[in-house]
Amino acid sequence: MVSDMVLLADLPDKVLKSPELYAGCIAGALKKEDYLNKIKKAGFEDVRVTKEDAVSLADYLGSDKVVSSLVENMPVAERNSINRAVASIKVSAKK
């Protein structure tokens, strides 16, 4: 069993290039499908997502002043899109 952050949609370049968001496990996260495929390619079977929770970046990153500034300066449409782009998943698999 493993738990990790995954992407449900593409993120804006500002987010992907942010060292703070990379350190926060957002900018370096894989798309959910790619993440699960890598587990399968590593030889695991019966790969199942046992839990998935959407992550609101506004809540997740609100305490970091640098990141808050980055997010606040984004256009509203971009800001809204990143709030639907990230999830925390728990995956079960057998080897």
Give the model's pLDDT for residue 63. Answer: 65
Quote the tokens at residue 90.
Answer: 């728990």
What single DSSP character describes residue 31?
B
Using alpha carbons, select from 22, 7, 91, 12 the residue that is nearest to residue 54. Answer: 7
pTM of the shown model = 0.81
Give the model's pLDDT for residue 31. Answer: 96
Point out which residues pair with 5 in neighbouring strands: 88
In the predicted model, is pLDDT for residue 3 greater than 90?
Answer: yes
- Residues 37-87 pLDDT 10s: 999 999 999 999 999 998 877 666 666 676 677 777 777 777 777 777 889
In the chain the domains, ranked by start, together with CATH numbers, are 2-94 (3.40.50.150)
Sorted by sequence, the CB contacts under 8 Å of residue 14 that are 6+ apart come out as: 70, 74, 78
First-to-last CA distance in the chain? 11
